[in-house]
Each structure stands twice: as structure tokens, then as C-alpha cells.
Structure 1
Amino acid sequence: MKAPFPFSAIVGQDDMKLSLILTAIDPSIGGVLVFGDRGTGKSTAVRALAALLPPILRVEGCPVNAERPEDVPDWAVLETKTVSEAPTPVVDLPLGVTEDRVTGALDIEAALTRGEKAFQPGLLAKANRGYLYIDEVNLLEDHIVDLLLDVAQSGENVVEREGLSIRHAARFVLVGSGNPEEGELRPQLLDRFGLSVEVGSPPDIESRVEVLKRRDAYDRDHAAFMLRWQAEDAAIRERILTGRKALKKLDTPDETLTDVATLCVALGADGLRGELTLLKAARAYAAWRDDTALTRKHVRDVAAMALRHRLRRDPLDEAGSGTRVERVVEEVFA
């Protein structure tokens, strides 16, 4: 099986790559929504990022990727609880998936063959401490959307049915992609994504030719292509690790907090989730740049991706949501 396309080899799509990097530095940002045309590298970028992320410490065989032996749930029977490194999990949630497959359910095989009432973990367990990726998220069935909303809010999966009473940690970075022409996303789920970016096909011939060259090289001589981009991916990995450490020491002046609140009020963002997400994204961006203090520039640079999907619709304004955010940013920070 081929290794995923290198993250650093993706041509353009700077906003998409930056948004994914920010969630890698601070997963509490709340995930990324990527909307755009088909074939613009959305799923490629998600898998490429996961491949370059540093491994996590995990109890071997633990169905919820517990970091410490004491975190292994009681229902998970393990012969040993050895901790070792494992790749960051990336789990695909397909359209048409059943609720049992998502949350987990009674292990029918154990019930029939051994008469045991055992729990069969679902996709939420596998995604804990990693990424849950949903392609065509705007086409997801409503009852699965409701389920994801509950888990995303609590960070815990609860299964109460078929005589089971199971709870386990389910904290993950939710990444959704879709084509806006195929339907809109429910507002409740839209608000759960920390960042939102829009991607499109490269507008210039030079960029398109470079995409063709790199993809062709990846398919024809995979080993050589991966070796060519190994150093660039390693450099990104080191910057992410450095950013995670820098995040804890970053100074956040009161005037920058005032900038965050003022901008959200000017945009008419509902609730306080916009402010909190903008603050976290700006801090992660400052850490990525290896800056020591949060400034207005950091807020300006990530404002569109943190707020574009939180705006109220204005039927009299034909500008896109990203353009509206940028316009208000210029007015507020003039």
C-alpha cells in the first residue's frame, strides 16, 4: 500500500494546509470544514497531514487509543497494557453509515458463541485522539449529524441500549469536506467546525502543470518521490512540535483580546464560540510562526477561516462570506 501523498508536495491551497496545521498544534480549535470543487486535494491533504504528524503514545491493542494503562476502559479486556508509539489515527466516516457502526454496539459474535454481553467499539472509539474525516459532509444523514453534535460537545461517547451501558472518551479533530453545489450544511453542525476554508482549482496554467508533474511522479516512481519530499515534511513536523510547546508560553495581551471581541461584535457573530475559536486559531498561528506574543496581525491573518461560516446571511450583500470578513477586518482595524 502506497504511503499518502506528501503534505509539503501539495501545490497551493495555502489556507487549507494552514488550517489543518493549526488544528494539529491545538486540537481544541475544533476541526476544519473544507468546501470546494471535486479534485482539489481535500482528502489528500487530510491524509497527508496525518502521515506527517508525530506518533502518539498508545496502550497496545486499546480500542480507544488510551495514552496510559489507567485510561483503558473497563470493558476493554487486554492481556497486557504495554505503552508504545502508534501513528495518529485517521478514521473515515462514510455516507450511509449506521448508528451502530459509529457508536459501537453489542458484539453479536461473542453473544452467540460464548453467551457474553460484550461491546464492539465503533468509529468514534477508533478516532479518539486522532482525526475523524467525513467526505461530502453536507450529505450526511440527520440522525448521524445529531449524534456527532452530542459527542463533539461532550468529548464522550455514550451507548445505552441492548442491555449495554458504555462510556468512553471520543475526542477527535473533525474534518469535513464537501461541494457547496450539492447541498448546504445544517447550521448546528456548521457551528461545530472551528475553522472553515474554501478551495478551488488553480487558476493559472503554471500551477496546474506543477500539479500534474508531482502527481505523475508520485504514481510512476513512488519511492523516489517520497524521498524527495521527506525533508520538507519533517520540517513541518518539527514546526508543529515546536508550536505545541510554544503555545503554553505564548503571551496574550488584553488589547489583543479586545481586538478579537470587537471584530466578532462588528461581524454580528452569534454567541461566544466565534471569539474563542478566533483566539485559539490566532494563538496557534503565532506559535506556528514561533512568535512570543499574540498580536493584531495574527488575529487578522486567521479571521476569515475562523469566522466566515459563523456569519448571519445578508440577502442584500452578494459578496462571499470570506470577503465580508476581510472587509470588516479592514474597517475595524483601519
Structure 2
Amino acid sequence: MTAQDLKQLQTPVFPFTAIVGQEEMKLALQLNVIDPKIGGVMIMGDRGTGKSTTIRAIADLLPEIEIVLNDPFNSHKSNLDLMSNEVKQALQENIIFKTEFIKIPMIDLPLGATEDRVCGTIDIEKALTEGVKAFEPGLLAKANRGILYVDEVNLLDDHLVDILLDSAASGWNTVEREGISIRHPARFVLVGSGNPEEGELRPQLLDRFGMHAEIRTVKDPLLRVKVVEERTSFDQEPMVWIKNYETKQQELRERIVFAQNLLPKVELNYELRVKISEVCSRLDVDGLRGDIVTNRAAKAHAAYHGHTEVTVEDIQTIIKLCLRHRLRKDPLETIDSGDKVSKVFNEVFEIES
């Protein structure tokens, strides 16, 4: 069976450029793909608003990545931060390894997943009898250089959420069992989604997500009809639908790749950095994570629009997504819609609302 045949057997994915509305969610996902160091996205919204569809669509949109052949960690062939210890060792010994191109990994984390399934396990018996570190990679290994999606993250055990957030922040996963320690790269974009009716995340966990996108059910009847019609026609003839959007998909793909390459050259001047920190200070945001994420997201937004200098408009577009979920001090409070952030932003940047 050829690669083309296999491609046709795969479940068709709704094109990202065909998704109507939900601009906040789409923007947050694109910025995290341009700079994964932003720290992921928490998407909160009503049921049936296309959260899962959009996340699968962004993964399908992205260009293929080159990995070391048969490597369980999707190791990069030259970047040490994205490389397993075995590949590093082979590199030091000047061993030439084969590579292959794969689609960006999109890993779904099921709600009932155990810690071993997420982090991976060490075969103690094999380690003791054969003297080798027998490691069975988990979902974090498979998600390296890709997207890890947790639906209903607010229902996931807190200690598992902690593990995911630690790995997403550090880019590494460490598994320790019976005195044996294994460390492997786990750099991925963490995307969590949930319905506020089923409970909120604790503020200290919520703060660890880089951005927070809020989505609502579309109220306009004409827009609702358009969404339903598009979905129906996609289900009837998915390949025709995908072909119709091929040009738009390719344009957006090229734009994201261009932004990724431009990002290191983007500058954020000192005065704007001071004003961002003043907004965070006035909003009484705990810690400095809010400042860091806002700076990174503003740079990614500038790169997305092809600029090498961050503008006030860039900051204005992304600041609500970066800060509103950091204002909650009381777990019983609901998340601010962003009005408070906008008000303080307008005061600090002297913009007339």
C-alpha cells in the first residue's frame, strides 16, 4: 500500500480556513504555533462550538516536520533541545541516521489516562535482568514537536495537569522509578478545552496556561445556517471540500512558516515593555508570567503580520487573551470577559475607548 493510499484512508479533517467565527480561539492557536514558548491555550466555551474541530484543523494545516527515522520522541536531526539522548549519542559518534517527514503529531489525552500512560514507564524487570534502561514512551513522548490536546481539562486530575504544564513549560519529561531515571524532550503546544458549567480550573493552574480563549455559541441565525450548511456539505463530499480550500490552506501555511522564521528578528521596544508591565501591575497579576506571555504573544502577532517591530495594535489585540484568566484570586469567581483588562490597557496606553 502506497503513502498516497494511506493518506486517502485517513479521516478527512475540516479545513482550518473554512471555520466560521471563533476568531479568539483561531488567533490564540496560530500564535502558539508560531511561538510554542507562549505556553499553550486554554479554550473555555459552550458545548458544540467546534473546539475539537478547530484544534484538529490547525494540526492538519501545519507543514510536515522532519524526524529521525523510528525515533519514539520525534527527535530533530540537529536541534539538541528536541533530541533524545540516543540520538545525541549517535550524533557525537558521527553516526549518520535516516530521517523521514511526518505530519505534526496531534495527541489526544483521554480523561481516564493514568500517570504511566502520560509520562511513560520503565520496565524494571528488564532493567535489572538485562542491565538496560527499558523505557516505554508515553503520550508526552509522542507529543514532542506537536500538539497535545486535553478535552475537559477541568475534569482531569490536578496532579496530571501539573505534570502536563511542567513538561510544556520546561520542554522535558523526567520519569523516575526504583532509582532509574529517564529524561526525554517533550516540547509541545498544550491545548486544553472545557465547559465552564462543569467547573473551572484552580487559579494557580489556570495561570500556567499562556493564553485563554473564550468562545460562545453563534447567535446570528444567518451565520448559524452558514455553519450548518458548510459542515453538512463537508460531511457529504469531504475531498471536494478540502480541494476547494487547498489554496487558502497553503497561503495560511506559508504565512505561519514565514512568521516562525521572522520571529527571532522581531523587536519590542523598552517603552512598550514598561507599559505592558504597568498594565499587569495595575491589574494586580501575581508573578511575572503575565508580562512574559504578553511580550511573547505580541512578538508572535507582529511576526504573523510580517512586521519586525511590535506596535501598540499588536499588544491591544492579544493582551486580553494573555491576562484575563490571571485576575481570579478566588476560585469561586468567574473569569473576567476582558473588560477590566481593556479598561486598564486604554488608561496606560492613553487610548480613548
TM-score, length of structure 1 as denominator length: 0.92
Specify the code of the residue in structure 2 equivalent to 1:267: L
Helix, strand or coil at the partner of 1:57:
strand
The residue type paired with residue 73 of structure 1 is N
Partner of 2:66: helix, strand, or coil?
strand
C-alpha separation in 1, matches of 2:103 and 2:170: 25
- The residue number in structure 1 matching 2:3 is none
- Preserved contact between residue 96 and residue 141 of structure 1 (Cα < 8 Å): no
Q: Separation in 2 of the partners of 1:319 and 1:129?
A: 31
Deviation at 1:256, TM superposition (A): 1.4
Alignment of 1:33-72 (within 5 A): 33-68=42-77, 71-72=83-84
SS at match of 1:255: helix
1:1-334 matches, cutoff 5 A: 1-68=10-77, 71-74=83-86, 81-107=97-123, 118-162=134-178, 164-313=180-329, 320-333=336-349, 334=351
Query: What is the DSSP-based 3-state SS (H/G/I as helix, E as strand, rest coil) of the residue aligned with 1:74?
Result: helix
CA contact (8 A) 1:62 1:76 kept: no
Please state how far the C-alpha of 1:205 moved relative to its aligned partner: 0.7
Inter-partner Cα distance in structure 2 for 1:75 and 1:294: 38
For 1:84, give the aligned amino acid: E
Amino acid at match of 2:97: K
- How many angstroms apart in 1 are the aligned matches of 2:132 and 2:266? 51
CA RMSD, aligned part only? Answer: 2.7
Output one character per residue of 1:40-93: Cα deviation in whole Å (capped at 9) or x when no partner: 011111110011111111001111110127733339999983122211111111
CA shift, 1:330, in A, is 2.1
Identity rate of aligned residues, in percent?
Answer: 50
- Equivalences, count: 333
Whole-Å separation in 2 of the counterparts to 1:314 and 1:159: 33
The CA deviation at 1:108 is 8.5
> Tell me, what secondary structure is at the counterpart of 1:213?
helix
Counterpart contact for 2:173–2:183, Cα < 8 Å:
yes
SS of match in other structure, 2:85: coil
**Alpha-carbon distance, 1:246 to partner:** 1.8
Contact 2:144 2:187 in 1 (8 A): yes
Instruction: Tell me, in whole angstroms, the C-alpha distance in 2 between the residues paired with 1:321 and 1:32.
Output: 16
Distance (Å, rounded) in 2 between the aligned partners of 1:142 and 1:320: 23
Question: 1:138, CA displacement in angstroms?
Answer: 0.3
Structure 1: runs of 5+ lacking an equivalent: none
Q: Which moved more, 1:113-122 or 1:279-288?
A: 113-122
Tell me which moved more, 279-288 or 100-109: 100-109
Kindly provide the amino acid, as one letter, of the partner of residue 144 in structure 2: N
The one-letter amino acid of 1:88's match is I
Describe the shift of the 1:268–1:163 C-alpha distance in structure 2 as closer, same or farther (beyond 3 A).
closer
Q: SS at the partner of 1:28?
A: helix
CA, structure 1 residues 154+244, in 2 after alignment: closer, same or farther (shift >3 Å)?
Answer: closer
User: How far 1:207 sits from its partner (Å)?
Assistant: 0.9
SS at match of 2:225: helix
- Kept in 2, the 8 Å contact 1:101–1:122? The answer is yes
State TM-score, norm by structure 2.
Answer: 0.87
More off after superposition, 101-110 vs 299-308: 101-110
Q: Please give the per-residue CA displacement for 1:303-322, whole angstroms capped at 9, x wherever unaligned.
A: 1001111114489x999341
Q: What code does the residue aligned with 1:278 have?
A: T
Mark the CA change 1:251 to 1:154 in structure 2 (over 3 Å): closer, same or farther: closer
CA distance 1:123–1:205, shift in 2 (3 Å): same
* CA apart distance, 1:27: 0.8
Which amino acid is 1:10 matched to? I
Q: SS in structure 1 opposite 2:86?
A: coil
| CA distance, structure 2, for counterparts of residue 299 and residue 159 of structure 1 | 39
Give distance in 1, aligned partners of 2:98 and 2:125.
27
